Amino acid sequence: MTPLTQRRTDAVGQIMTWLCGGMLALNLLLILGLLAILATQGLGYFWQKPLDLLVLVDGTKMLGEIYETEAIPTDDPGAPVTQRMRVKTANRDVTGSDFRWIDEASIASRSRPGDAVLLERQEWGNFHGFVRELRAHGETLASGDAEVWPQLQALVSVKSRERAALSRVEKGELGAINHRIERLRLDERRLALTGLPDAERAQRHEALVRQGEAEQREYEHVATRLGALRESFDAEILVVATADGATRELPVSHVVRGVRPNELGMLGSAGLYLSRAVEFVTGEPRESNTEGGIFPAIFGTVMMVLIMSVFVAPFGVIAAVYLREYAREGLLVRLVRIAVNNLAGVPSIVFGVFGLGFFVYFVGGSIDQLFHPESLPTPTFGTGGILWASLTLALLTVPVVIVATEEGLAAVPRSVREGSLALGATRFETLWHVVLPAAAPGMLTGMILAVSRAAGEVAPLMIVGMVKLAPALPLDGNFPFVHLERKFMHLGFHIYDVGFQSPNVEAAKPLVFATALLLIAVVLAANLVAILVRNHLREKYATRSI
Amino acid sequence: MAIDPYDAEAADGAEDLSIVMDDASTPLPRIDKPVLSAEALSLWYGDSKALDAISLEIPEKRITAFIGPSGCGKSTLLRCFNRLNDLVDEVRIEGRLRFHGTDLYAPEVDVPTLRTRIGMVFQKSNPFPKSIFENVAYGCRIQGMNRRSELEEIVERSLRGAALWEEAKDRLDESALGLSGGQQQRLCIARAIAVEPEVILLDEPCSALDPIATAKVEELMSELKDHYTLVIVTHNMQQAARVSDYTAFLYLGRLIEHGETARLFVKPARKQTEDYITGRFG
C-alpha cells in the first residue's frame, strides 16, 4: 500500500499551470504595452519642447526643437561614434521642410534664448523665430521684442474670437443662405420636370425667381459684412525674424497661438498642454488634417456607430428571437445558424463592396430617381454617405448580435418560462415580460461587441461614404438638420490618412498615435456605457445560477 | 404535436389495458363530483409510452398525492392537467381528461385561460427575475389588471395565503431571487393563488427544501385545502401519508392503486404498492 506521506510528483500539472499563467501574463503585457506606446507617443505630442538656438560651424543659425539623437551609422567599426540630431526647425515656408538632421560635430554653439517664439499658424505649420514689429494700416503699433510680445498675446486672443465670429457668419448665416438658394434652384428644376399648365408654371416660376432674388440680395448683404469683417481681421501685420535674421511679414490673423517655449515654466507648459489637448479634441483640422483638431472625425465615428446601433439592435434581436424561440429546430434552422456564424467571418471589404453595389447604387440610386430627380445627375443618396456606411456596418455586425442574443435567450431557464405559462401567460407574453428582460444582458453583450467592431472598421467605409475631409457635419442647423446622405470623417481613416497620405508625414507621426489613442478612448467610452447598463440590468434581472 | 383526443382507437386501447385494473379488484374511490378526471389516458414521448391507460378522479378541496418511483410518469400525468406537456415536441396523447366534465384537450379550449384555473407550483422554485411584488402580481397583470391599489390588495392576500407576508412585507420591491429556497417556493405558491385558480398542481414542491421549510409548505397545503383542490407529486412517502387525503401509486406509467391515503398506506390492496411503501423497491 502506498504510504499517505508519499507525494506523487505532478510535474506536468505544474508546467501546465505555469504555462497558462505565463500566457495570460504575456497577453496582459501586450495590451499594456500597446496602450503604453500609444500613450507615450501620442500624449507627448502636445508637450512643448524648448527651442534651441543652434549655431553651426559654417555660420548657419537655426531655432528648433530637438526630437531625437542617434548614432550615425557607419561601415567602419573602428571609427569613433558620432551623434546626429533630428531637429524640428519648422518655417516650412522658408526652408521647405519641417525637419533637419544635424551632425553634433557641426554645431558650434547651443543656447536657449528666452525671447525665441513659436507661432502656430493657420498655414505653413509652425514658425520659429523672434518677433520684431507690429503694424497696422502701414503704421507701427509696437516695435522691439519687449513691446510687441504682450500686445501680440492680447491681439492673438482677439483674433481667435474674430475668427470664431467669421466662421459663424460663413458657416451659419451664409451657409444657411446658400442652402436656401440651392433649395430654390432645385425647386425650379422640379417645377420644370412637373407637367403643370404653362400659366401655372410661369406663375410659380415667377415666385421662385422673386424669392431667389431676395436671397441673392441677402447674400450680398452678408457678403459685404463678411468682407468688412475679414478686412479688419487681416489688418494687423506682424514682422518676424528667423534665427539667421531674415525678416518676414505675417498677418496676425494667421497666428493661432504664440508661445515662448524657453520661458514657459512648469505651470505654463501644463496650461499649454491642456489648451492644445482641448483644441485637438474639439477643433477642426487644418493643413490637410496634419494640424488642428479632429472633432469632425470623432463626431462622424460616434454618429455612425449610433446610427448603426439603431439598425442593428432591433434586426439582430428580432432575428435571434425567431431563431431561438419560434423556429422549429431542424436542418433549416441549423443551416441558417451556420450561415449567420459564417457571415461574421466574411472579410469586411466584401461587405463594403456589397454596400456600394446594393445600398449606394441600387437603393440610393432608386431613392434619387423617386425623390430627388431635380438634382440629378448629381446624386443625393446615390453616393456614399453616413447612412449607407452605417447600414453596411450594421450588416457586418448583425451576426454578432444574433449570436449573443441567442446565447442570452438560451440561458433563460426553461423552468422560468414554464412558470410564466403556468400562470396563464401566452407564449408571446412570456417572451415579452420574462424572457426578453432576462436575456437583455446577453443582447447588450452583443451590442458591445458590435460597437467595438464597427468603430474600428475602416476598409468597407472607404467605398461607402468616408472621406478625408468632410465640408460639413452630418448634423447641423439647416433643415432637415440630420443629413444622412452626407459624407463623413472617421477616426480610423483619419489615422491612415494623416499617417500615410499627408504631405508632411514626419510631422504628423505623433498625431497618428494621439488619434489612435482617442479612437480607443471612444470605443472604450461606448463600451463602458453599455457595460454599466448591462450590469444594472443584471442586478435587476439576475438570472439564477443554481 | 399530435394530440387526437377523439381517436376511436384510444377507447379500444384503454379497454385492453384496463384489464390490469379489473383483475386487481382494487377498491377505487367513488367520487361524486370530481374536479378533474382522466379516462384511459395514455401518453407517448415520440415512440416511448410514458402513461398507460390511466383512469382516475380528483376530488374537490382535497389533497391527492401521486407517488411512485422516479420515471413512473407521475409528473407527466400532473403536467397533462394544465397542458404543460403541449410545449414538448412529439408528445401524443390518447384518452380523455376532463375538468368539471369539459374535455381539456378539446380544440375550443383556450389553454392560457385553462392555466389560470389550474395553477402549478414546480419542483425547483422558479421566481421571475423581478421584484417580489411583481412576481405575485404577474398573473393578474397578464390578465390586464393594472390598478396599483387592486394589485396591492391581491399581493397582500396571496402572500398571507402563502404564509409569506410577515417575512416579505418590508421587501416587496426587492428582487425575488434574494429570498431563501423555502421562501421562494412559498412565493411561487403565492403567485399561483394570486390568480385564484380552482386547482393547484404541485410538482414535488419540497424536494429542494430543508425539513423546516418543508414543514412550512406542508402546513400551508393543509390550509389551502379549504379553498383549493390540490394535486401533489412527491416521492417522499411520509409526506404523502402526512398531507394527502387520497393517494395514487403509479409504476412504469400505470396506475397501480388509488385510494384513501389512510387505507392505502395501512392496507394496500396490491403487492407492488406494499413493496413500494415498505421500501422494498423504488
Cβ proximity of A540 and A62 under 8 Å = no
Classified as helix, coil or strand, A288 is coil
Size of interface A-B (CB pairs under 8 A): 77
A351: which residues sit within 8 A by CB, 6+ positions away?
Answer: A392, A393, A395, A396, A460
Residue A314 pLDDT class (50, 70, 90 cuts): very high
Measured between CB atoms, does B87 come within 8 Å of chain A? yes
A-chain CB neighbours of B141 within 8 Å are 433
Q: What is the mean pLDDT of chain A?
A: 85
CA distance B269 to chain A (A): 35
Asked whether the beta carbons of residue B175 and residue A546 sit closer than 8 angstroms, the reply is no
Which pLDDT band holds residue A320 (cuts at 50, 70, 90)?
very high
Query: Could you tell me which residues come within 8 angstroms of residue A284 by beta carbon, excluding any fewer than 6 positions away?
Result: A292, A293, A295, A296
Contact A426 B116 (CB under 8 A): no
For A139-183, write each residue's pLDDT tens digit: 888 888 888 888 888 888 888 888 888 888 888 788 888 888 888
Contact B112 A424 (CB under 8 A): yes
Which of A325, A326, A420, A423 should one mutate to test binding to chain B, selecting the residue with the greatest count of B CBs within 10 A? Answer: A423
Instruction: Answer whether residue A30 shows pLDDT above 90.
Output: yes
- Decide if A470 contacts A486 (C-beta within 8 A): yes
Rounded to the nearest 5°, which phi and psi values hold at A345?
Answer: -95, -5
3-state SS string over A71-102?
ECCCCCCCCCCCEEEEEECCCHHHHCCCEEEE
- Is A28 touching B (CB cutoff 8 A)? no
Q: What is the pLDDT of residues A497-522, one digit of tens each?
A: 888 887 777 777 888 888 888 888 88
**Residue A52: what are its φ and ψ, rounded to 5°?**
-100, 130
Q: Which residue among B84, B130, B177 places its CB closest to the CB of A422?
A: B84
Q: Which residue of B has its CA nearest to A440?
A: B129
- Provide the pLDDT for residue B281: 66
Element containing residue A161 per DSSP (H, E): helix A145-167
Please indicate whether, in this complex, the C-beta atoms of A423 and B119 are within 8 angstroms of each other: yes
Considering A71-80, A303-312, A364-373, the range whose residues carry the highest mean pLDDT is: A303-312
Cα A546 to the center of its chain, rounded Å: 46
What distance in Å separates the CA atoms of residue B271 and residue B282, rounded to the nearest whole number? 14
CB-CB under 8 Å, A415 with B138: no
Task: Find the CB nearest B115 among A422, A541, A546.
Answer: A422
Residue B81: CB atoms within 10 A of its CB come to: 22
Question: CA torsion sign, A400 to A404 to A405 to A407?
Answer: positive
Domain B2-277: give its CATH architecture. Answer: 3-Layer(aba) Sandwich (3.40)
B211 touches chain A (CB under 8 A): no
DSSP for A170-187, written as a single string:
IIIIIHHHHHHHHHHHHH
Q: Which of A424, A438, A541 sits opposite B143 (nearest CB)?
A: A424
DSSP code per residue over B98-129:
EETTEETT-TT--HHHHHHHEEEE-SS----S
Nearest-neighbour CA in chain B from A170: distance (Å): 56
| Cα distances (Å, whole numbers) of residue A532 to A251, B122, B129 | 51, 34, 19
Report in angstroms the alpha-carbon separations of A475 from A59, A132, A155, A296: 55, 44, 33, 11
Measure CB to CB from residue A424 to each of B175, B177, B195 and give the nearest one: B195
Note whether A419 contacts B128, CB cutoff 8 Å.
yes
How does DSSP assign B136-170, residue by residue? HHHHHHHTT---HHHHHHHHHHHHHHTT-HHHHGG
Question: Is B124 close to A546, i.e. CB distance below 8 A?
Answer: yes
- Cis amide linkage into residue A480, ω under 30° from 0: yes
For residue A414, what is the nearest residue in chain B, using CA coordinates? B126
Taking the C-alpha atoms of residue B190 and residue B217, their distance in angstroms, rounded to an integer, is 11
CA distance A449 to chain B (A): 25
CA distance B275 to chain A (A): 33
CATH number of A295-540: 1.10.3720.10
B138 touches chain A (CB under 8 A): yes
Q: Collapse the DSSP code of A431 into the 3-class scheme (helix H, G, I; strand E, B; otherwise coil) and give the result.
A: helix
Does the CB of A475 have a partner CB in chain B at under 8 Å?
A: no
- Interface check B142 vs A, CB under 8 A: yes
- A382 has a pLDDT exceeding 50: yes
Residue of B nearest to A413 (CA): B126
Is the CB of residue A413 less than 8 Å away from at least one CB of chain B? yes
Distances in Å between the Cα of B202 and the Cα atoms of A342, B113, B124 are: 45, 19, 11
pTM more than 0.80: no
**Bridge partners of residue A236, in order along the sequence:** A136
Q: What is the average pLDDT across A73-94?
A: 82
* pLDDT score of A545 more than 70: no
Q: Would you list the domain boundaries of chain A?
A: 56-110, 139-263, 295-540
* A333 close to B (CB below 8 A): no
Our CA angle for A308, A312, A315, nearest 5°, is 150
- What is the C-alpha separation between B7 and B23, in angstroms, rounded? 26
CB spacing of B87 vs A418 below 8 angstroms? yes
Q: What are phi and psi of A531, to 5 degrees?
A: -65, -40
Which residue of B125, B126, B177 is the best one to mutate when testing the A interface, meaning the one whose CB has the most A CBs within 10 A? Answer: B126
Taking the Cβ of residue A433 and every Cβ of chain B, the question of whether any pair is shorter than 8 Å is answered with yes
Given the DSSP bridges, would you call strands B91-99 and B2-3 parallel, antiparallel or unpaired?
A: parallel
Mean pLDDT per 10-residue run, chain B (282 residues)?
40 37 46 80 88 88 89 88 84 88 86 90 88 90 88 90 87 87 88 90 86 86 88 88 90 88 87 83 59
How far apart CA A52 and CA A55 sit, in angstroms, is 10
Residue A302 contacts B, CB cutoff 8 Å: no
* 3-state DSSP assignment of residue A144: coil
Residue A28 clears pLDDT 90, i.e. is over it: yes
pLDDT at B28: 52
Q: Please check whether residue A313 is in contact with residue A361, taking contact to mean a CB–CB distance below 8 angstroms.
A: no
Nearest CB to A421 within list B115, B143, B192: B115
Q: Closest Cα partner for B41 from B30, B29, B57, B52?
A: B52
Q: What is the pLDDT of residues A408-445, one digit of tens each?
A: 999 888 888 899 999 988 889 999 988 988 888 888 88
Q: Is the link from the previous residue into A377 a cis peptide, with omega within 30 of 0? A: yes
Confidence band of A488 (pLDDT split at 50, 70, 90):
confident
Distance from CA of A436 to the nearest CA of B (A): 11
The confidence band for A541, taking pLDDT boundaries of 50, 70 and 90, is: low
Contact call for residues A142 and A133 (beta carbons, < 8 A)? yes
DSSP state of A435: I
In this structure, what are the phi and psi dihedrals at residue A141, rounded to the nearest 5 degrees? Answer: -85, -40
How far A533 CA lies from chain B's nearest CA (Å)?
Answer: 17
Q: Phi and psi at residue A331, in whole multiples of 5°?
A: -60, -45
pLDDT for res B217: 85
Q: Do A434 and B128 touch (CB under 8 A)?
A: yes
With beta carbons less than 8 A apart as the criterion, state whether A177 and A219 touch. yes
The per-residue pLDDT for range A100-109, each reduced to its tens digit, is 888 888 888 8
Mean of pLDDT values over A255-263: 86
pLDDT band for A542, please (50, 70, 90 cuts).
Answer: low
Nearest residue of A to residue B193, measured between CA atoms: A423
ipTM exceeding cut-off 0.85 for this assembly: no
Helix extents (H) in B131-270: 132-142, 148-161, 165-168, 181-194, 211-224, 237-243, 261-266
- Exposure letters A371-410 (e unless 16+ CB within 10 A, then b): ebebbeeebbbbbbbbbbbbbbbbbbbbbbbbbbbbbbbe
Q: Using an 8 Å CB-CB cutoff, list chain A residues near B112.
A: 421, 424-426
What's the rounded Cα separation, in Å, for the pair A349 and A347?
Answer: 6
Q: Does A419 touch chain B (CB under 8 A)?
A: yes
Q: What is the full DSSP assignment across B60-87?
A: TTSEEEEE-STTSSHHHHHHHHTTGGGG
CA distance B188 to chain A (A): 9
Rounded to the nearest angstrom, the minimum Cα separation between B82 and chain A is: 7
C-alpha grid cell, residue A377: 445627375
Tell me the mean pLDDT in the region A189-211: 80
- Which residues of chain B does A438 touch, with a Cβ-Cβ cutoff of 8 Å? 128-129
